[in-house]
Chains A and B, each alone.
Chain A
């Protein structure tokens, strides 16, 4: 294990290279597979409860259907030339050496079946072109290795054709679900969202009391009443955040940070108990329909509460779904204020306030820390913040630098668009597969080790609920403290200077001053947005 390796390493020896390519270890992770979903978990989502009789036939039919619905799948299956560019890019390969964790080899588990049933050469000369029947062994391999892909898209950055293994693993999981081979972690959670509104199954009363506790906690700490409004009709902003923010550490410190920012902005905001979840595991299982249903809860909440804007909290894949897919799945959002992007990331929101000088900070509150930032994969490679490409890298860093004096980036080839997955994304944040999670975290942990030892970094900030939960769990395996990982808005929370109580009640007039209180610069809209792109000013 890596921690042994680290402990035994004599002082002064070079740090292990995060990108070190392991020797091939065929079959090393073949036995790593998550718990299968129970019949109830599958049927709740409309999938067959267990492996169906004619599963092979139905799987091939489903594959055929997906090939006509997803250009990505079709093009990616045809285009790979086996050049090898992706072979050393997957964190799970780097951490395990299992060749089936090389992106191209993972794709080939799917591609060989595609070739056998859908291509002329695969039908005529299967051995020549590596085509194979869909047997039970192949299906078992699918279940193992398509649950060792966190859909982080790192391979797609390096592929000369942009082949994104995430698309293939999503398709594979969708096919498996369609024949009754679901994964417990994802399917159970999606069921909870449909039923209760969040991944954790937190009902409204529990949520309410948690939020009240937070207000009290902040009051004790600062003497200022910072509200966490829930289900407040007529609020301007609906905050959609991962439910882990309501109870997990360090997530909850991030939530406290958001609330303090809203408080200082004088914003009228609310959470929704109906849509109390930003996460959308429908993406992980590749199901457009499930993803759509989860996204539409948020639409309904926004309509019911009559909000004008939506802000999304710190969550990686959730922001991908929100930024890239919401408009498709649950749009058009024409009932919201067109002057703001739907949605806005909480970091964009805070960043804009900082730019406008609306927030005051005491940066020394974070002086006991030296920070680095783990770019979350879905934010880095599947979304954007701000107007310009790459804003998703600059804005969180700008926020951190505005509230902390000490910030150091990790090695350039392990951050930004080349960032590593934390090892627990893509529906793999489940304890029975802790082995692959620990191994998959290795590249990030090594990059962290480097800056810890070279630059005295003490903490690593993240903007993703899964990253935070995963790191909290695996950091000790690499000789770090659990609380080395922090929320970006936890740092904001530490440094923000809250307006003293006497000013608290001094609210502006009710009518039409929403935009006057909110001096945020909306994201520039493209020219074709026309007159609507202008800022409404009172």
Chain B
């Protein structure tokens, strides 16, 4: 019963996440950007833009310029999250890739770093008046959700361990449509429920910043308005009637 419930939950969550994100990406990709608006100085070549975007996504360059504390905590959280995510790959692949094995020990520390980064960011939402002003219920809830995912994960590692071999069998079974029993440990069920919730809210929340950054015209446009004429389809119609 539990297995069926969670199996269905994860199918639904995955469907919502993938379809939702695909829809957003499609929306962003198909909405025209009628004017050239890169924040300058901006790269004058496509490869330059790729480099700018890589710096933005890998190093959080703009955030670093802005505020070292937000950068530090935000960076800590995101890098840790990446490591944790890589570490979790072992539940979904067999045999486990070498790189995942190698990163395994760091993944555990990353769990703590992730929670620490989030708590620091959350603390700012209370202590810094400007940030407190702009924080709404959903901002706090989102932090609570991800912190809870991190804590429940850490709890399984250090307090209430679960049968991870069985968990892996369950996950692989999900992917192969050959369902295997899920252990009934409370902490695991909490962890998985929260992750499913995160997957479901992703396409409807500010987590859209993840795909959004790649579509930001101020960051992804080449600074070449004079060399290349850039006209959106809807704007072309304005020229249609009578020329001058």
Contacts and interface: CB of A to CB of B under 8 A. Distances in A.
A523 B139 CA distance: 48
A160 B60 contact: yes
A533 to B, nearest CB: 10
B112 interface: no
Contact of B229 (A130, A296, A331): A331
Contact of B40 (A292, A389, A525, A529): A389
Interface string A121-135: 100000111100000
A444 interface: no
A104 interface: yes
A84 B34 contact: no
Contact of B34 (A69, A86, A161, A529): A69
A215 B66 CA distance: 49
A390 interface: yes
A390 B41 contact: yes
Interface in A132-169: 153, 156-164, 167
Interface stretch (A200-208, A226-234, A320-328, A445-453): A320-328
Contacts of B244: 296, 299-300, 303
B96 to A, nearest CB: 33
B101 interface: no
A71 B35 CA distance: 10
A164 B33 CA distance: 14
Contacts of B62: 85, 157-160, 162
Interface in B15-72: 24, 27-28, 31-37, 39-44, 56, 60, 62-63, 65-67, 70
Contact of B217 (A67, A72, A84): A72
Given A383-B40, A389-B44, A68 B31 contact: yes
A357 interface: no
A72 B218 contact: yes
A265 B39 CA distance: 33
Contacts of A472: none
Interface string A47-83: 0000000000000000000011111101110111111
A353 B215 CA distance: 40
A324 B37 CA distance: 7
A102 B133 contact: yes
A10 interface: no
A282 B226 CA distance: 20
A75 B136 contact: no
A104 B134 contact: yes
Interface in B221-244: 223-232, 234-235, 238, 244
A72 B39 CA distance: 12
A273 interface: no
Nearest to B212: A79
B205 to A, nearest CB: 7
Interface stretch (B81-89, B123-131, B189-197): B123-131
Interface of A, secondary structure class, is helix
A157 B65 contact: yes
A167 B37 contact: yes
Query: Contact size class for A?
Result: 35 or more
A457 to B, nearest CB: 25
B74 interface: yes
B14 interface: no
B98 interface: no
B95 interface: no
B141 interface: yes
A384 interface: yes
Given A83-B70, A119-B204, A323 B137 contact: no
B218 A78 contact: no
B93 interface: no
Nearest to B41: A389
A325 B212 contact: no
B74 A83 contact: yes
Given A72-B37, A79-B208, A79-B213, A162 B63 contact: no
A389 B38 CA distance: 11
Nearest to A166: B37
A318 to B, nearest CB: 15
A253 interface: no
A267 interface: no
B69 to A, nearest CB: 9
A417 interface: yes
Contact of B128 (A84, A156, A162, A288): A84
Given A74-B28, A128-B141, A160-B74, 6 more contacts: A75-B212, A161-B216, A162-B39, A300-B244, A383-B40, A388-B44
9 contacts: A21-B130, A79-B208, A80-B206, A87-B130, A158-B63, A162-B56, A323-B226, A381-B40, A389-B40
Interface of B: 24, 27-28, 31-37, 39-44, 56, 60, 62-63, 65-67, 70, 74, 121, 124, 128-131, 133-139, 141, 204-206, 208-209, 212-213, 215-219, 223-232, 234-235, 238, 244
Closest 4 CB pairs of A and B: A79-B212, A389-B41, A158-B66, A162-B218
